[in-house]
Structure 1
Amino acid sequence: MLINKNLTLNKRNIAKTLYAQLHELENTLNSYLKYPCNDESFALANAIRVVYEFATGCRLNPTPPK
């Protein structure tokens, strides 16, 4: 029983860490999409968007660079 509890707590801690990292990526994505300064930053934003969409199942609508 103790092993199952530890396993559950470990999984919960990993999930919390991944969730926090996902929010950091979301903030980075929002920053790049709002202020793309060159093609490389837009390409990075696209890569982050793909990972975010895959991880969350939520579709985002990026704005093209000006």
Structure 2
Amino acid sequence: MVTIFCNYQVNKKWSWMIQILVKINLKCLIWKCSKLINLESYYIDIFLLKSLVLVSKLDKAPTA
């Protein structure tokens, strides 16, 4: 499972945080986010997974 940092207070900065953290090996587990924010854990997981899939595809693109 891909991991992501959890600080949902900065909602508007998720995309920026994801891009930065993808480059830092992503140390914080998604399930920790779910425990911290139970009411929105489903939304967070879906949003993060979609974003991480997109970032992963971009990150794996061949460089010329």
TM-score in same-fold range (> 0.5): no
User: Which one has the bigger helix percentage?
Assistant: 1
Name which structure has the greater RCO, CA cutoff 8 Å, separation 6+: 2
TM-score range, shorter chain: 0.3 to 0.5
Q: Greater Rg, structure 1 or structure 2? A: 1
- TM-score, structure 1 normalization: 0.37
TM-score using structure 2 length:
0.37
